[in-house]
Each structure stands twice: as C-alpha cells, then as structure tokens.
Structure 1
Amino acid sequence: MNDLKAFSGHHIDWNLSPEHAVTMYLEWGNNDWHAEYPPVRSKDDVSTYFVVDTWAGWPVVRLVRRNSEHAEELATVALPEQLANSFLNEYGDLKGIFEPTPEIKAWLRKELGHE
C-alpha cells in the first residue's frame, strides 16, 4: 500500500471513469471531439485517475496513470472501513473496476490535500 500524500502534486482527472479511460485510450476514434475527454492524439496524452477495485473482495482504491500504450498503477490504498462498507452496500458483491463514489472522491481529495 502506498501513501497518497506522495502524489499530491499530480494532476488528477477526477471525472475520468474507467469507462471513459477505455474509450479514450483503448478504443481510439470511439469518442467525439466535443466530448469532455476528446480522442487521444499520441502516446504523450496521459491521464491520472482513481478507480475502485473489488476483484480481491475488499475494495481498494488504485491511482492509475494511463496513456495509449499502457496503464501504470501508481498507488494502491485500502478504503477505510466505513467507506468500504458504504461502497459494498451500493454495489454488493460485484467484482470489477469502478469509478469512485462522490464520498470516496471527497476522502481522496482530503488525503491528497486537494480539499
């Protein structure tokens, strides 16, 4: 697990969902130039964003840096019990990669000092 304070200087794309990231970086040409996230032009186009990962059971948050060639996991942090339980109440036992809830984003902003 990593301390999020080390990433406080990174520009975080708070509204970038895993679905948008796939559209932008893995399905080139599948999104509109007028969309919030226009198509990627080169491997120099980079996004840094958070996801909630439930594949192992208990939800963790991952900070991901992605370009058109690969995704790099910068940090993995366990959610506090209250946030994890709230997330599990909403999504049940679904396994996957999800966009953080507004409550989780608020916690992440606080952890990064982006309040």
Structure 2
Amino acid sequence: MLSLAELRKNRTLVNSIDWAMTPEKAVEMYLEWGTGWIRGNDFVSSADDESYYFVIFDWETEPPVVTLIHRTLEGAEELAKIEVPKKLFDAACKEDGIKPGGTVHRLNRNLQDWLNTRIEGPPVEFFNMEQ
C-alpha cells in the first residue's frame, strides 16, 4: 500500500488519476458491459484499458481515509489509503447519499480539491490534517 509521500513521487501514477471516475461509472465500464449505451464512447474497448481513481469506503473511519483504486478488466486493486479530515470525509459521504446495499462513495469537489492539493503541493510534512 502506497503512502501519500510515495504516491506523490510516482508522477506517472499521479498523472493517471481520473478525478471524474466514480464507483458507479467504474462498475458500468468494467463489469456491466453494454448496460450504459447512452454513455457514447465512454467504455472499455480492450483488455489494456485501466483506470486509477479514488473512492470512499464509509466504514473506514478510524482514521478516515480515501482509497486509490486501480481497475482493469481483471479486477480492482487498492493501491493507496490516504488519511483525510473527518469533516471532509463525512460531508462527502453525506453528499453522495445512502445507497441500497452499497457503502462505496465518490469524492465530492471539496475532498477532491483537498486531496489534489496534498498530492500536487508542497512537502507532505507541511500539511496539518485539521485544515
């Protein structure tokens, strides 16, 4: 599992993160072929396709973290868990709403912005988790 510092050093991986990918979109693209015909050209076209994106597992609260996922046709792998402020974690879960049978959430804009600043910004030691 990558730490925030290790993730920041891997610029190829950082530049591959799809900030618009959601858990629902990933399932539709990689697991439910043909169900999203209205999406146009937004689909998996070969076994070489892959996505990197963050999700929230709402049970991971001690401490609250977001998880970087690598998804291919073969499956999904958790690459990193990044601790985030509880206030942002809770707000993102609440904004995404309760889903029947599901506890995997997308990041909201505030959490994406906070996380992107930590990945792209000054050295990790500079940041205070309470911000």
TM tier, shorter chain?
0.7 to 0.9
- Give the counterpart letter for 2:47 in structure 1: K
Higher relative helix content: 2
Secondary structure of the structure 2 residue equivalent to 1:29: coil
Structure 1 residue runs of 4+, over 4 Å off? 88-95
Structure 2 residue aligned with 1:13: 18
Structure 1 residue aligned with 2:54: 50
Structure having the higher Rg: 2
Which runs of no fewer than 5 residues in structure 1 stay unpaired?
A: none
Match of 2:87 among 74, 77, 82: 82
Name the % identity: 36
**What do residues 23-81 of structure 1 show as CA deviations (whole Å, max 9, x unaligned)?**
0000011223x627622122210011110111244542000010111101110112123
Q: Distance in 2 between matches of 1:41 and 1:70?
A: 15
Q: Which moved more, 1:57-66 or 1:15-24?
A: 57-66
- Give the counterpart letter for 1:35 in structure 2: R
Match of 1:63 among 51, 68, 75: 68
* RMSD of Structure 2 on Structure 1 (CA): 2.7
Q: Which moved more, 1:55-64 or 1:39-48?
A: 55-64
